Amino acid sequence: MVKILAMVGALVVLAPWRASAQPVDYPELGSWRVDLAKSQFPPGLAPQEKTYAFEATPAGFKETIHTRDAQGHERTSGSTYRYDGKMYAFTGYPLIDAIAIKRLDRFRADVTFFRGGKVVGRAHANISRDARTITFAENLQDRSGRPMHIVEVLARR
């Protein structure tokens, strides 16, 4: 009986810690909307709407991006990856086909973009300390090899 009470007591004490560990350790998890007024895109490339969803899965972290582009076409893109700096497939976006993400700390990560095995861009992600915004500063090449600079400011939904 004492063992059962001790186990139940441990579960009661540890359960809130375990439930809160993921969001505290990974503040990017959840749903986000790009704040178009605060973001910067090359002329003519600002989307009408763009949302991100980040979730933890057994295979790693899953990123799903829904975009309605400037012409009103909808696209879903994304990847499942780990924060280990290794290359992972990225689908649904014509400028890249793989990403590698290196987590610097709880609030910052560096991203490398690939197309056909070659580096075509880099980005830096910064999560605010209150975990209400994420800023992505991206330098990427378009299909012609011309550089593009994009800053996306995401607000938690």
Note whether residue 14 is domain-resident.
Answer: no
Over the stretch 108-147, which tens digit does the pLDDT of each residue have?
999 999 999 999 999 999 999 999 999 999 999 998 999 9
What's the CA gap between 157 and 152, in Å, rounded?
15
* Domain hosting residue 52, numbered range: 27-156
Dihedral in degrees, nearest 10, Cα atoms 74, 138, 143, 40: 60
| Entry pTM | 0.84
The pLDDT of residue 18 = 36
Report yes or no: 65 and 76 within 8 Å, Cβ to Cβ. Answer: yes
Note whether residue 13 is domain-resident.
Answer: no
Query: Count of domains in the chain?
Result: 1
Query: pLDDT averaged over the chain?
Result: 88
Judge whether residue 26 has pLDDT over 80: yes
What's the CA gap between 8 and 93, in Å, rounded?
48
Report yes or no: 142 and 18 within 8 Å, Cβ to Cβ. Answer: no
Note whether residue 96 is domain-resident.
Answer: yes
Judge whether residue 5 has pLDDT over 70: no
Over the stretch 43-54, which tens digit does the pLDDT of each residue have?
999 999 999 999
